[in-house]
Structure 1
Amino acid sequence: MGKTAFVRYSAQMPRLALVSRRLILPALLLLVLLAFAVGFGAVARRAAVAAQAAESMRAARTHARLLESELQKFRLLPLVLDEYPDVRAAMKTRSDASPAARRLDGKLALLAARTGASAIYAIDPAGFTVAASNAGRPDSFVARTYGFRPYFVQAIRTGHAEYFALGNVSGRAGLFLARRIMDGPRVIGVVVVKVEFQGIARSWAAAGGTTLVVDHRGIVLIASDPALRFTTTAPLSAAERAAIRTSLQFGDKTLPPAPFAIAGTGGHDRRGQPIVVGTVAVDLPGWRLLHVVGLAPALRAADARVRSATFVLAVLLAALAAAWAWRAARAARTRASAEQLKAEVARRTIELSDANDQLRIEVAERERADRRFRAAREELAQANRLGSIGTITAGVAHEINQPVATIRTYAENAATLLDRDDTDRARGNLSAIVDLTARIGTITAELRRYARRGTREVGPVAIADVLDGTHLLIGDRFRAAGVLLERVLPAGPLPTVRAGRVRLEQVLVNLLQNALEAVTGRPDARVRLSIVAQDDCVAILIADNGPGIAPDLLDTLFEPFITGRADGLGLGLGIARDIMTEFGGTLEPVASPLGGAAFRATLVRVAT
């Protein structure tokens, strides 16, 4: 190389170095931008998939709870029907033309209309349908034989069955809930409730996404999209298809594959687009609820966010590069400004430190306020619990007041009889006191169970026994007050009702005590207890000729602590109505035939 060429090359070296240094920064910024786009894109897509998976699981749980709530409602129907007298009567006749079967048709139709059941029907032990909610219609089940249906066979064998299939007559799919009906040790038939799920499927469809319910074989039984019903999410073997055709569970449905390829919580649809699947077990053997959501919209939204963020970062990096170049060009002239900036930064640091200290103080104060709030809330909860305990205690005191007063009367009479050496009658009074003491214990136990909302025994109770017990508790008070207690009873033996004896006595004693207090002091005081017996119910009316019920109390008469008496607690009527409700009866104020107040208690009559 010649000297001139060497000098020219040496002169170009600094310019080449400068050019190289200027290219380094754009290259680094481009690499940073590319790395950000790739990394943030992967994170955004994973976040989108995770969010959709969480949303799919949430929707699956919500839809499963709705389905299980519907199932639970309909599972109660066979239990209720087991208690219907007409069900047993119709099954014992084994005839679809019996009066009992025709009465049962009407009751089943009313029950199906009120509950939304597709059909309710009763089958005798031979598989013959004696009554149905759709009796009289072209698709009536009455007089048809269902002894071959798996739900009937299983219910006869094990006591109950839950079986999903196409209807043999209607051709509509549904879940058949069957329960065996026994008459002692003898099987007298099976009641069946058919449930269809179109309403739930429409609710699922309105919520978005695709919701499916599949059985243990992967066959879609319920779907928000009707086109997906009776497709399969998993391959069926030849043996399984043969068994399904033999049982006619799905009629002539071909059970084609569903337009999804599901693997765990993911998969893809028929177009190859990714999906996410939320899976929840359903309260039926082998059933699962799947909520399928397409990922394509979420992934497109994530990609759009990545593009927007990358564009913003590119603008920021470009601005940063421009600022760096500007600062480098003017570095010499900005040293003073840099020092001034350093001082400003120091000052701002002090201010931020002070602000941080103030923020810590405010956070501490908020924490103390939160603790005070939680303590106040706990005190309110405790006060509420104490109020509930007070209500129960007041109820117990109110309900045992009448037998305690009667015990005192018997005790005073016993003391007088002992002074007269009349030991036989005194012993009778003491025996009555023992019975009343046991009665108080029974009442207290009943009220404790009432407060705990526990189960209570309800069964056939003779009205005559209840009236005797009531008279034992309240009779002396009427005699002491000089008030006539009229009893208007039907001719012949008194009927039997569905109730609990002690608690029914509680209701009558409470109503009679209220009537007695209302008429005490009136010269023409009268209280009347009358009984009207009908075919399916018994009405007990207690009326007086007192001042009646104030109009402003009628709407709140049964609420706790609402009373028209100065010394009343306002608990008796509320407890009495709750007791009547548990018996399947009613308690309501009615017009008094004597001009005062009257209450009518209606009970279910039991055949004897």
Structure 2
Amino acid sequence: VNGVLALEVMGFAILLALAFYFLSRRTAGRLAIFQRESAKLRALNLALQREIAERKRVQQTLAVAEQTLEQSSKLAALGEMSAAVSHELNQPLAAMKTYLAGARLLLKRNRQDEALSSFGRIDDLIERMGAITRQLKSYARKGQEAFSPVDMGAALASSLSMMEPQLRQRQVQISRILPDNPVMVMGDRMRIEQVMVNLLRNALDATKSERNPQVDIILSAGETATLTVRDNGPGIEDLDALFEPFYTTKQPGDGVGLGLAISSGIVNDLGGRLMARNGQNGGAVFEMQLPILADETKIEAAE
């Protein structure tokens, strides 16, 4: 009996040993698989981190490139306006020369009051020239990253002031319809003015072949702040490709087709949209829509 019991105990021990052996082998196999999977996950995690870092670097590079492209577009616009601006500055310079010659002659004749009047006119001309150059320098500055309240009417007046020499040279009839109250949006005034100047330049270019060029500008406030620029040119041939980079209908040397693409990107960054269509009576119609800035008094009343 003792021998049988010893054999049974020994057999049971052998079975337990075999079971533990197979369980340990199975656990070791699972552990090896887990270690291999962990190594793969670590490798994937490192690869993902490298890819994320690369994407961030590419996005930063792209953002810098977009800002550089916007600034280059603004400087190109200034270059195109330089001829008209120089003509605008030559007029007060010629007038100043005439006033100085007259003042010199008046001083020789002891007519000091009239000479002082000439000097006052010269001072007015200098102020006018300074206003032109200040406007151009302000437009050439880079935009700000932080948004602030912007009066669309004031931005439009500033843009038209910049385009005034070209408007005079081309003798374009400008029709403006503006609301009585300020139209406020949240954005970057420099970039908004860049879009406005680009729309005005395109309208001027579109009316080059017209005998009576006309540009209508409408600023309205509703659910959005909407600026509409309408010309009486030939209209838009390809609406689908209009906002694509490097698409242009201008002659070589007159443009590279980036103005509207950059303007559309700026408006999108400001939370709005830039649209274009052909007018019912001909010509092109551009609309810039931006989220209107809510009146604080209305918000307080609603609260």
Into which bin does the TM-score normalised by the smaller protein fall? 0.5 to 0.7
CA–CA distance in structure 2, aligned partners of residues 556 and 393 of structure 1: 23
Sort the Cα spacing of 1:568 and 1:496 in 2 relative to 1 into closer, same or farther, 3 A: same
| Structure 2 residue 96 is matched with structure 1 residue 414 | no
The 1-side partners of 2:237 and 2:74 are apart by: 26
Partner residue in 1 for 2:111 = none
Which digits, 9 at most, give the CA deviation of each residue in 1:105-164, with x for residues without a partner? xxxxxxxxxxxxxxxxxxxxxxxxxxxxxxxxxxxxxxxxxxxxxxxxxxxxxxxxxxxx
Task: Give the counterpart letter for 1:408 in structure 2.
Answer: S
Q: Are residues 49 and 463 of structure 1, via their aligned partners in 2, closer, same or farther at CA, if it must alter by over 3 Å?
A: closer
Change (3 A) 1:396 1:501: closer
Q: Secondary structure at the match of 2:242?
A: coil
**Distance in 2 of aligned mates of 1:510 and 1:52:** 57
**How many residue pairs were aligned?**
231
What secondary structure does 2:126 align onto? helix
Higher RCO (CA-CA < 8 Å; seq separation 6+):
2
Q: CA deviation at 1:394?
A: 4.8
Q: What is the aligned partner in structure 2 of residue 546 from structure 1?
A: 233
Give the superposition deviation at 1:403: 5.2
Show structure 1 runs of 5+ residues with no match: 1-40, 66-386, 447-454
Question: Following the alignment from structure 2 to structure 1, what is the Cα–Cα distance between the partners of residues 80 and 281?
Answer: 25
Q: CA deviation at 1:544?
A: 0.9
Contact 1:403 / 1:440 at 8 angstroms: preserved in 2? Answer: no
Question: What SS is found at the alignment partner of 2:89?
Answer: helix
Specify the alignment match of 1:428 in structure 2: 127
Find the partner of 1:563 among 231, 236, 248: 248
Partner residue, 1:174 = none
Distance in 2 between residues matched to 1:537 and 1:388, nearest whole Å? 26
Q: CA deviation at 1:50?
A: 3.0
- Give the distance between the partners of 2:200 and 2:250, measured in 1 at CA: 15
Aligned to 2:182: 494
Q: What residue in structure 1 maps to residue 264 of structure 2?
A: 577
1:598 is aligned to 2:285: yes
Note the 1:377-456 alignment, pairs <5 A: 394-401=72-79, 404-405=82-83, 407-421=85-99, 422-442=121-141, 445-446=142-143, 456=145
What SS does the corresponding residue of 1:429 show, helix, strand or coil? helix
Distance 2:70 2:294 in 1: 35
* Preserved CA contact (<8 Å) 2:149 2:184: yes
After TM superposition, the structure 1 stretch with the greater mean CA deviation from structure 2, 409-418 or 511-520, is: 409-418
1:466 corresponds to which letter in structure 2? A
Give 2:122's aligned amino acid: T
Distance of aligned partners of 1:518 and 1:495 in 2 relative to their CA distance in 1, 3 Å threshold: same
CA contact (8 A) 1:537 1:604 kept: yes
Q: For the residues of structure 2 that align with 1:464 and 1:402, how far apart are their CA atoms?
A: 24
One-letter identity of the residue aligned with 2:152: I
**Take 2:271 and 2:67, find their aligned partners in 1: how far apart are those partners?**
27
TM-aligned CA deviation for residue 494 of structure 1: 3.0
| Structure-to-structure mapping, 1:162-311, within 5 angstroms | none
Query: 1:478 offset after TM fit, Å?
Result: 1.7
The structure 2 residue matched to 1:509, chosen from 173, 181, 197, is 197
In the TM superposition, what are the counterparts of 1:63-212 in structure 2 within 5 Å? none
CA contact (8 A) 1:561 1:570 kept: yes
> Deviation per CA, 1:545-601, whole angstroms, max 9, x where unpaired?
1111113xx222222211111122111101111111121111011232541111110
More helix by share: 2
Aligned residues of 1:543 and 1:594 also touching (Cα < 8 A): no
| Distance 1:488-1:601 versus aligned 2 partners, 3 A rule | same
- Distance in 2 separating the partners of 1:594 and 1:499: 33
Residue of structure 2 equivalent to 1:532: 220
What does residue 589 of structure 1 align with? 276
**Matching residue of 1:51:** 36
Q: Secondary structure at the match of 1:569?
A: coil
Whether the 8 Å contact between 1:407 and 1:436 is mirrored in structure 2 is no
Distance 2:122 2:172 in 1: 30
Structure 2 distance, partners of 1:572, 1:436, is: 20
Q: Secondary structure at the match of 1:568?
A: coil
**CA drift at 1:424:** 2.3
How far residue 431 of structure 1 moved from its aligned partner, in angstroms, is: 1.4
Distance 2:130 2:189 in 1: 20
- The answer to whether the 8 A contact 1:519-1:545 is kept is yes
Tell me if structure 2 keeps the 8 A contact 1:483–1:520. no
**SS at 1:542's partner residue?**
strand
TM-fit CA distance, 1:402: 5.2
Is the Cα–Cα contact under 8 Å of residues 74 and 194 in structure 2 kept in the other structure? Answer: no
The 3 A distance-change label for structure 1 pair 388 and 483 is closer
CA change 1:433–1:518 in 2 (3 A) is: same
Secondary structure, aligned partner of 1:420: helix
Report if the CA contact (8 A) 1:544-1:594 is conserved. no
Could you state the TM-score of these two structures normalised by the residue count of structure 2?
0.66
- Which one-letter code corresponds to 2:169 in the other structure? A
Measure the CA separation in 2 of the matches of 1:466 and 1:396. 16
Aligned residue identity for 2:228: L
Partner of 2:159: 470
Instruction: Give distance in 1, aligned partners of 2:182 and 2:291.
Output: 14
d(CA) in 2 for partners of 1:489 and 1:519?
A: 23
Task: Label 1:507 to 1:437 Cα distance change in 2 as closer, same or farther (>3 A).
Answer: closer
Structure 2 residue 146 is matched with structure 1 residue 457: yes
Query: Which deviations, in whole Å up to 9, do the C-alpha atoms of 1:446-498 show, x marking residues without a partner?
Result: 3xxxxxxxx712221112211210111112312221211111223x2232122
- Label 1:594 to 1:472 Cα distance change in 2 as closer, same or farther (>3 A): farther
Verify the 8 A CA contact 2:276 2:287 in the aligned structure 1: yes
CA RMSD of aligned residues (A): 3.2
User: Which one-letter code corresponds to 1:420 in the other structure?
Assistant: T
Mapped partners of 1:459, 1:508: distance in 2: 18
User: Which amino acid counterpart does residue 96 of structure 2 have in structure 1?
Assistant: L
Residues 237-266 of structure 1 deviation map (CA, whole Å, 9 limit, x = unaligned): xxxxxxxxxxxxxxxxxxxxxxxxxxxxxx
d(CA) in 2 for partners of 1:56 and 1:471? Answer: 60
Q: Could you tell me how far 1:52 is from its partner in structure 2? A: 3.0
Structure with a larger share of its residues in strand: 1
Do the aligned partners of 2:148 and 2:186 also contact (CA within 8 Å) in 1?
yes
Partners of 1:398 and 1:586 lie apart in 2 by 23
